[in-house]
Every structure is written in C-alpha cells, then in structure tokens.
Amino acid sequence: MSHLILRWTVILWSILIINGCNQQQAATEAKAATPPAKTFTWKMVTTWPPNFPIFQEGVMQLAKDIEAMSGGRLKIQVYAGGELVPALQTFDAVSQGTVQMGHGAAYYWAGKVPAAQFMTAVPFGMTAKGMNAWFYGGGGLELWRELYQPFNVVPFPAGNSGVQMAGWFNKKIQTVDDLKGLKMRIPGLGGKVLAKAGGTPVLLAGGEIYTALERGTIDATEWVGPYHDERLGLYRAAKYYYYPGWHEPGTVLELIVNAQAWATLPYDLQRIIEIAARSLNQWMYSQFEALNIKALHELKEKYKVDVLPLPKEVLNELKRLTKEALAEEAEKSADFKRVYETFEKFRQEHDAWTAIADDAYSDALK
C-alpha cells in the first residue's frame, strides 16, 4: 500500500510540474505576442514666463506627474510663453493642433469666446471654493467644454489663485470719483467695470507692469497677490495696496488639450490627465494660501506698505456697475447670456450655503 501511495504521489507531482511549466510557457508566449503599449510625446505651451513661481512651476510638475503615473507612456515637453509660440497664442496653438496641450487663463481668450471669462473670474463672483463646486458638482465643467468644442479644445480646471488683491495705487481711493481718469492695468470683466466707473483699463503683460507703474504710464495695477506682487517689486513703484480683489475673487487657471490629440489617448491616459489636473488645481491654490500671508506680513513690516481696504461706498458702486456690464455683455452674445444665467443661479445657491457655513463660522470667531 505504501508503494502505491508513493507512486501516485510522484505521478501527481509530475502532472503539477508539467502543468506549471505549460502555463508558464503559455504566459511567456502570450506576453511575447502582446505588442508594447503605445507611447506618446506631446508638446505643451503656457502663457507664463520661464520659471514663474507657482504658475509655470506647477505646470512643470504636472508634466512630471503625468509621465510618472503613465509609466513613461505619455511624455510632455513644456514650453513657457514665447519659447515656442507667443504667450497669448496658447489657445490658438492648441486649437489648431500645433501643440497638444496648453496652460493659461480662459479670460485671455475673451475676444474669441466672450463667455469663457466666467471660467476664470467674474467681479463679485465666486471664490475658489465656489468655482470648484460649480465645475466639479454643478455642471460648470460641462458648460465650459460646450463653449470650447467648436474650437477643437478640451478644458480642465488646473489652478486657482484664491482671492486676489485689488491692486497697487499711487493715490488713495476714498470715493468713486477717485477712479475717474485712473489708468490701471486690469484685464477681463474687471476692466470693463473700471471703464464704466470712469477709469481707463490698460492691458499689459506681466513683464511690463513694474516699469509702466514706476514711470507713470499707468496710475495703478492689479497683478495677483502678495507673494507674486512682492517678487515683482511693485511696492517700490506704488505706496497704497488695496483689498479685496473684487474683480478676481477666485481666479481659475486652465489646462487645455487639442480634441483630436485627446481622442487618440487610451482611456487610462485620459484619466491620468484628468487626475493630474485636479491635483494641480489643489496644489496651486494651497501654495497661494500658504505663501500670500507671509509675503503680506513682509510688505507691511519690512517695506512699510499701506495695506488698505477699499471703502464700502466704492465697492457698492463697483458692484452696481458690474451688474450693468454683465447685462450689456449678455445682450451681445447668446452664449454669454446662457452661461451668465447658469453661473448666477449656482452662485446664489452657493452663497446661501456659505452664509450658514463659512460666514457664520467666521462670525463666531469674532
């Protein structure tokens, strides 16, 4: 009996070994027959200067994240503004397929897509919290993609500055009349509101702002916030630093992808881009929140900058003029009107929640 048991044991082990070898050989043959995963090498242009803190820095990290998460299957070469195409031709380059990706801000393309301004910042609009809620939970992203579809572009939220500052001024702003005749560097819808208040909006690239303010070509400027404003040295060219950033309460930055290039990607690489864009969106906002307060303290303590609130009277008038400007723009464009109505409905609902959440909590701390 023991001989029989031993014999059958040997037979069973032989069968198992043979089956294992066959399975291993089959797996090896299948692996050899499977073609290697396709790899992609893309170009990406931005509207930012080389090495621009947070903005260009974040985009460079985005490219690294995508390459790492894709196991090297999607590599992205990043070009700062002017290195491959002029900064403000980023949208056109992506739309035409000259490059596959771009990074900038939607209100730069207001001449082509007026309603795109809602996807960056609206005077007295929503903060970063509200904009993220609108995009990711309130249908805003779907609306954004509808606007860009005719241009062969797929957009993603990819960064937020948070609430900006109202800007740097060479004179005190005590009444609305102080805005009349004021030459100020201010883009987008904020510029239209300033014009209605009697001011003169001026469009300047970031590299031109300091010189223009120092030489008196402009009387005031907005830029971003304390961290970037200090690095640009604006405290040397103007004395008064006003808040809050009524014109840009939660400025969204965008990642844009050429639609044809997007369609060539397998689903997993598409998802990697989406997740990387969300990560960049949160990282940029967190950086601003962490660094602005340190820079503001230094501006006040080290450089003795007068940091002042805009008078309530001025803010109220700017708010009234904002409604007028938005209504006028809505009459010119059906898309603008449609997005405005959708944006405003969500903003009102979100404000109602904020009133009993964030606002009530802030009041409780006083």
Mean pLDDT within 279-284: 98
Mean pLDDT within 253-273: 98
Mean pLDDT within 116-136: 97
Q: Is the pLDDT of residue 17 over 90?
A: no
In angstroms, the CA 150 to CA 130 distance is 27
Mean pLDDT within 62-83: 97
Q: Is the pLDDT of residue 32 over 60?
A: no
- The model's pTM: 0.88
- Give the chain's domains with CATH numbers: 40-115+122-159+250-289 (3.40.190.170), 167-249+296-359 (3.40.190.10)
Residue bearing the bigger pLDDT, 6 or 215: 215
Q: Is 78 helix (H, G, I), strand (E, B) or coil?
A: strand
Grade residue 204 by pLDDT with cuts at 50, 70 and 90. Answer: confident
Residue 248 · residue 187 · CB < 8 Å: no
For all residues of the chain together, what is the average pLDDT? Answer: 92
Residue 223 · residue 290 · CB < 8 Å: no
| Tens digits of residue pLDDT in 317-352 | 999 999 999 999 999 999 999 999 999 999 999 999
In angstroms, the CA 124 to CA 299 distance is 26
Residue bearing the bigger pLDDT, 1 or 43: 43
Which pLDDT does position 10 carry in this prediction?
46
| Tens digits of residue pLDDT in 53-65 | 999 999 999 999 9
Which pLDDT does position 12 carry in this prediction?
47
Cis peptide before 244 (omega within 30 of 0): yes
Closest Cα partner for 116 from 94, 140, 99, 138?
A: 140
The DSSP code sequence of 160-174 is: E--S---EEESS---
Please give the DSSP secondary-structure letter assigned to residue 72. T
Q: Is 201 helix (H, G, I), strand (E, B) or coil?
A: strand
Grade residue 19 by pLDDT with cuts at 50, 70 and 90. Answer: low
Q: Is the pLDDT of residue 8 over 60?
A: no
Grade residue 171 by pLDDT with cuts at 50, 70 and 90. Answer: very high
Mean pLDDT within 261-284: 98
Which pLDDT does position 30 carry in this prediction?
45
